[in-house]
Amino acid sequence: MSGQNVDQLNKLWKKGTDFLGTKYAILGGAMSWLSESNLVSALSNAGAFGVIACGSMTPDLLAKVIEETQAKTKKPFGVNLITMHPDIDALIDVTLAHNIKFIVLAGGIPTSNSIKRIKEGGAKVICFAPALILAKKLIRSGADALIVEGSEAGGHIGPVSTSVLAQEILPHIKDVPVFVAGGIGQGDVMAAYLKMGASGCQLGTLFVCAEESIAHEKFKKMFMRGNARDAIISVQIDPRFPVIPVRALKNAASVEFMEVQRKVINKFQAGEVEMLDAQLEIEHYWAGALKRAAIDGDVENGSVMAGQSVGMVKKIQPVKDIIENLVTEATEYLA
């Protein structure tokens, strides 16, 4: 890496590094069960920005994970909170009480009350922007930075690809940092988005097989065997019973989910269950499915959530090496 190219990279993501207070403007995607103290602290210690995935945690459990992470790193990290969590206000209060300076609000459009609560508590608010009109609205509501995440990402996704969202949003948002996410597996792509105007990038799938990731060995092996076309979106078979699309590696559970939907819909049409009960039965199919796969190792009957960049994950290595590889690729691209 020549000093000139490193300088160019540092200049391109300066807005992001200044905002996060990190060496590199690389955020770790918040992955439920996996983005806990080990992986988050490793990312921050390597010069990136780790993000705890709160998911369905209680306020007490989140406090414990934050304290564990603070014991492992003195570098900046954030907490990702789901806007629809029934205890969202309590989770915000716990996060602020632990002097966390960055909160990522995900899983829906955050309320102005949540944004105000966080900012008054002295933290920065990072929001997901699935369209330009919403990006502008979130900034007016007080968002300090945005994440533009395309459908190539793993887990719960929107309908539009990363490249299209980047073209739609990056040229028009200049007053806050914008981080691009979804399907990023190499440093040259990261650098290309920076040249388009991004302040940094967020990656999740690439870190699942890190040495510091607590993912089950079978989960990691499935990632290393997988390719882009294996990471499929959950299929909805009846518009009356909407399914929040999730991208995961195809397995027995993803095939069975289609059959579960058919059976429930047939019960509804036969008058055996009410519409709401039928919807809940479909939604509950995936309850605990990610933990079953990622932590317990049941990769056939659990949900192996993965982005389409999974085909670029080929070995287990330390977070530090993954980050350094990305930076090297980015600087070589800029050359």
Task: Quick: pLDDT tens for 18-62.
Answer: 999 999 999 999 999 999 999 999 999 999 999 999 999 999 999
**pLDDT value at position 223?**
98
Q: Closest Cα partner for 308 from 155, 127, 96, 103?
A: 155
Query: Is 271 exposed, middle or buried, given 0-12, 13-18 or 19+ CB atoms closer than 10 A?
Result: exposed
Output the pTM of the full model: 0.94
pLDDT tens digits, 146-201: 999 999 999 999 999 999 999 999 999 999 999 999 999 999 999 999 999 999 99
**pLDDT value at position 2?**
60
Q: Residue 39 CB: number of other CB atoms within 10 A? A: 26
Q: Please tell me whether residues 95 and 155 are part of one structural domain.
A: yes
Q: Please tell me whether residues 196 and 264 are part of one structural domain.
A: no
Q: What's the rounded Cα separation, in Å, for the pair 144 and 125?
A: 5
Q: Please tell me whether residues 298 and 187 are part of one structural domain.
A: no
DSSP secondary structure of 148-163: EE-TTSSEE--SS-HH
250 within some domain:
yes
Q: Please tell me whether residues 19 and 114 are part of one structural domain.
A: yes
**pLDDT value at position 157?**
93
Rounded mean pLDDT, 234-251:
90
Q: Closest Cα partner for 106 from 128, 79, 86?
A: 128
**pLDDT value at position 1?**
54
How many H helices and E strands in the chain? 14, 11
Q: Closest Cα partner for 80 from 140, 142, 144, 28?
A: 28
Q: Please tell me whether residues 169 and 251 are part of one structural domain.
A: no
Q: Please tell me whether residues 273 and 295 are part of one structural domain.
A: yes
In the chain, how long is the greatest CA-to-CA distance?
70
Asked if residue 169 lies in contact with residue 178, where contact means CB atoms within 8 angstroms, the answer is: yes
Residue 10 corresponds to which tokens in the numbers above? 């540092």
Structural domain boundaries, residue 40:
3-215+312-334
220 within some domain:
no
pLDDT category at 97 given cuts 50, 70, 90 is very high
Q: Taken in order 65, 22, 127, 205, is the CA torsion positive or negative?
A: negative
Secondary structure letter of residue 13 according to DSSP: T
71 within some domain:
yes
Asked if residue 19 lies in contact with residue 177, where contact means CB atoms within 8 angstroms, the answer is: yes
Asked if residue 122 lies in contact with residue 94, where contact means CB atoms within 8 angstroms, the answer is: no
pLDDT tens digits, 50-61: 999 999 999 999
Q: What percent of the chain has pLDDT over 90?
A: 87
Q: Please tell me whether residues 123 and 147 are part of one structural domain.
A: yes
**Mean residue pLDDT across the chain:** 95
* Contacts by 163-169, CB closer than 8 A, 24 or more apart: 165/130, 165/131, 166/193, 166/196, 166/198, 167/196, 168/131, 168/132, 169/129, 169/131, 169/132, 169/135
Asked if residue 21 lies in contact with residue 76, where contact means CB atoms within 8 angstroms, the answer is: yes
Q: Please tell me whether residues 242 and 166 are part of one structural domain.
A: no
Q: Please tell me whether residues 231 and 320 are part of one structural domain.
A: no
222 within some domain:
no
Q: Please tell me whether residues 97 and 185 are part of one structural domain.
A: yes
Query: Is 234 exposed, middle or buried, given 0-12, 13-18 or 19+ CB atoms closer than 10 A?
Result: buried
What's the number of domains the chain is made of? 2
Q: What's the rounded Cα separation, in Å, for the pair 201 and 187?
A: 10
221 within some domain:
no
**pLDDT value at position 4?**
77
Q: Please tell me whether residues 269 and 291 are part of one structural domain.
A: yes
User: What's the CATH code of the domain at 152?
Assistant: 3.20.20.70
Q: What's the rounded Cα separation, in Å, for the pair 212 and 320?
A: 10
67 within some domain:
yes
Which amino acid, one-letter code, is at 317?
Q
**pLDDT value at position 288?**
87
Q: Please tell me whether residues 114 and 181 are part of one structural domain.
A: yes
Rounded mean pLDDT, 229-256:
91
